[in-house]
Chains A and B, each alone.
Chain A
């Protein structure tokens, strides 16, 4: 449980979007590029205010694509960087998100999800970009996406996103939604002793022996910084270990597989979740983000009525907690999957369960949260007749 705090005298009262911005600075981010879009705009406003105070750089670009390009460029020049957006802007960023995957450039992309498709519901809730976060840019690529549900957790997950970006040399994603982005909640700001800060590994070899994609150092090769004597080449084309383009099928395959493997070999550690009242559960609710908060209330309500139900709340959406779902599918007789979309993450639950069993969605797309009562009703229904 992340929403609790012991010393109420030291609390701050922040919007989810402010939490992201403050956590980014705590993570060591010193470069932000963005473009105005509701409901994530407050992140840019706080970064514009705060970055100069810490000697960092804020720039508002001409569009979302440009903002994504700028954070990749600044990352190559050695900064920890991020950008924040919402649905339509997330779509536009996909081109350069793919570039960051291919060129293995650390950066963080925050998407405060709103209703869609297209312009959709600019000021209202949705959780419908979860598959886009995984597959939005073309081609095979690794993804790490975190979806916190409480403000203190948003803080810590933001820092983790920077850490994972640096550790794996990839663009990582933080998925909030309109409810969390605009919600003000009192939190105690986590003390630096409560989290780690990870900085990218720089080359230990001299420039003449350096190759930017040298896998002899592991699946995540050390990353040099521009202007420090390494004079390396970066391209979005398939490339070999030297960073220069190649079309050699064997090298292309090897390198792409390494790019995926560097994340997926740690998939189990990365796939964080919280279990709530799962010990003897016969029905599991699987949820994430703000919806999981309503789901927890529904679980409590159902427990009061003697229904053996628990909540598995994903904190990491990608990589997906495959093993946990697999195990649970052998413990419980049904899954209930509430999400503010028409059934996206439920597909992953079905896949990972590897079992023909009742897996039932609770879905809304009208811009409002799923009330706990609606989830409760579904739990009751499923507990009674399995569907």
Chain B
């Protein structure tokens, strides 16, 4: 059955503020598709973001939406989820927001394993502020603040999430929207902290400075780099040079989920209290 996208959107807020051809549209559409597949109620779902182009997404979504401060989306989301553990909380963020200014919150959210989903739209650049390099800008690339080429090493966001303890980690790319939706759906369904990195295009800020100023060229460039995990497993290290592996990269159903643990803690404390009260004459 076709998804009624407008049902999930605040239609009166359209047209959106993103550049034509921006990859974030693919992500938002995939997100709605995934929510629809899972049958989540709009009233039961909160979408939280920080600052940046991607972080404008919640404004268009007809849910409980929270556009917070730069890098802090996960901290607000943690409060929302801990206060309402039976509700759904999704965080959508960019590479700079999630892993530079929000890097500390990112690794600790992974460590805690609260049942939330973080979607990072990784376009390798700070788009909204005018194209400065981010923690994922490739070596040598041009940005507003790397006019002589980028010398900053970059993060592998998926590996960072796995290392920090996220219990579902996947990476997709905007050239393959179907898989992006699948990873988001699986991440939302996963009971624990899930991270989905989506490689995306910012032809306006990144592409323009790096000879890919139209969306098609830039999405083609992304597509040329990605290798699905099952294919990558059969490739040699030489063949994988310069490639980015996509797919479900990590899943751990064993680690306890945090709100479950906290609920058990409350039960434990209250049982002890009741026992004490009972023991009193």
CB of A156 within 8 Å of the partner chain: no
What is the chain B residue whose CB lies nearest that of A95? B69
Residues of B bordering A, CB below 8 Å: 10, 13, 42-44, 46, 48, 58-59, 62-69, 72, 74-84, 87, 104-105, 108, 262, 265-266, 268-270, 273
The one of B10, B78, B265, B270 in contact with A73, judged by C-beta atoms closer than 8 angstroms, is B78
Q: CB distance B43 to A227 under 8 Å? A: yes
12 residue pairs bridging A and B, Cβ less than 8 Å apart: A31-B79, A31-B83, A55-B270, A62-B105, A65-B72, A66-B75, A73-B79, A226-B80, A227-B44, A228-B43, A231-B62, A231-B64
With A99-B68, A227-B46, A234-B67 known to touch, is A74 a contact of B83 (CB < 8 Å)? yes
Nearest CB on A from B39, distance (A): 16
B-binding segment of A77-85, A185-193, A376-384: A77-85
Q: CA of A229 to CA of B45 in the docked complex: distance in angstroms?
A: 10
Q: CB distance A227 to B79 under 8 Å? A: no
What is the chain A residue whose CB lies nearest that of B42? A231
CB of A371 within 8 Å of the partner chain: no
CB of A236 within 8 Å of the partner chain: yes
Q: CA of A99 to CA of B43 in the docked complex: distance in angstroms?
A: 24
Q: CB distance A227 to B64 under 8 Å? A: yes
Q: CA of A67 to CA of B67 in the docked complex: distance in angstroms?
A: 17
Task: Mark out the residues of chain A between 23 and 59 whose CB falls within 8 Å of any chain B CB in the assembled complex.
Answer: 31, 33, 52-53, 55, 57, 59
Nearest CB on A from B86, distance (A): 9
Task: Mark out the residues of chain A between 218 and 240 whose CB falls within 8 Å of any chain B CB in the assembled complex.
Answer: 226-237
Q: CB distance B59 to A235 under 8 Å? A: yes
The one of B42, B46, B74, B79 in contact with A71, judged by C-beta atoms closer than 8 angstroms, is B79
The one of B59, B75, B262, B273 in contact with A233, judged by C-beta atoms closer than 8 angstroms, is B59
CB of A96 within 8 Å of the partner chain: yes
Q: CA of A63 to CA of B78 in the docked complex: distance in angstroms?
A: 13
Q: CA of A236 to CA of B48 in the docked complex: distance in angstroms?
A: 12
Q: CB distance B78 to A231 under 8 Å? A: no
Q: CA of A95 to CA of B71 in the docked complex: distance in angstroms?
A: 11
Q: CA of A230 to CA of B75 in the docked complex: distance in angstroms?
A: 22
Nearest CB on B from A269, distance (A): 31
Give the chain A neighbours of B269 by CB distance below 8 A.
52-53
Give the chain A neighbours of B82 by CB distance below 8 A.
31, 57, 59, 70, 74
For chain B, what secondary structure do more than half of its interface residues adopt (helix, strand, loop), or is it mixed?
Answer: helix
Give the chain B neighbours of A62 by CB distance below 8 A.
104-105, 108
Q: CA of A323 to CA of B96 in the docked complex: distance in angstroms?
A: 49
Give the chain B neighbours of A63 by CB distance below 8 A.
104
Q: CB distance A77 to B105 under 8 Å? A: no
Q: Most B CB atoms within 10 A — which of A61, A81, A227, A237?
A: A227
Give the chain A neighbours of B268 by CB distance below 8 A.
52
Nearest CB on A from B12, distance (A): 9
Residues of A bordering B, CB below 8 Å: 31, 33, 52-53, 55, 57, 59, 61-63, 65-79, 81, 95-96, 99, 226-237, 244-245
Q: CA of A107 to CA of B270 in the docked complex: distance in angstroms?
A: 26
Give the chain A neighbours of B262 by CB distance below 8 A.
57
Give the chain B neighbours of A33 by CB distance below 8 A.
78-79
Nearest CB on B from A204, distance (A): 19
Q: CA of A236 to CA of B62 in the docked complex: distance in angstroms?
A: 18
Nearest CB on A from B17, distance (A): 9
What is the chain A residue whose CB lies nearest that of B51? A236
Q: CA of A245 to CA of B58 in the docked complex: distance in angstroms?
A: 12
Q: CB distance A233 to B58 under 8 Å? A: yes
Q: CB distance B64 to A245 under 8 Å? A: no
Q: Which 8 A-B pairs have the closest CB atoms?
A: A73-B79, A69-B75, A70-B79, A77-B83, A73-B76, A74-B83, A74-B79, A62-B108
Nearest CB on B from A345, distance (A): 30
Q: Most B CB atoms within 10 A — which of A65, A68, A77?
A: A77
Q: CB distance B83 to A73 under 8 Å? A: yes
What is the chain A residue whose CB lies nearest that of B67? A235
Q: CA of A237 to CA of B17 in the docked complex: distance in angstroms?
A: 15
Q: Most A CB atoms within 10 A — which of B75, B77, B104?
A: B75
Nearest CB on B from A266, distance (A): 28
Nearest CB on A from B85, distance (A): 9
Nearest CB on B from A217, distance (A): 21
With contacts A66-B75, A96-B69 known, what are 16 further pairs, Cβ within 8 A? A53-B269, A55-B266, A68-B75, A69-B69, A70-B75, A72-B68, A72-B76, A73-B75, A73-B81, A74-B80, A76-B64, A77-B84, A95-B69, A227-B46, A231-B62, A233-B58
What is the chain A residue whose CB lies nearest that of B88? A227
What is the chain B residue whose CB lies nearest that of A107? B79
Give the chain B neighbours of A244 by CB distance below 8 A.
13, 59
Q: CB distance A77 to B79 under 8 Å? A: yes
Q: CA of A61 to CA of B111 in the docked complex: distance in angstroms?
A: 11
The one of A59, A79, A227, A233 in contact with B65, judged by C-beta atoms closer than 8 angstroms, is A233
Q: CA of A230 to CA of B81 in the docked complex: distance in angstroms?
A: 17
Q: CA of A228 to CA of B46 in the docked complex: distance in angstroms?
A: 11
Q: CA of A73 to CA of B104 in the docked complex: distance in angstroms?
A: 18
Nearest CB on B from A32, distance (A): 10
Nearest CB on A from B158, distance (A): 21
With A55-B266, A57-B83, A59-B82 known to touch, is A70 a contact of B67 (CB < 8 Å)? no
Q: Most B CB atoms within 10 A — which of A67, A228, A236?
A: A236
With A52-B270, A53-B269, A233-B59 known to touch, is A61 a contact of B69 (CB < 8 Å)? no
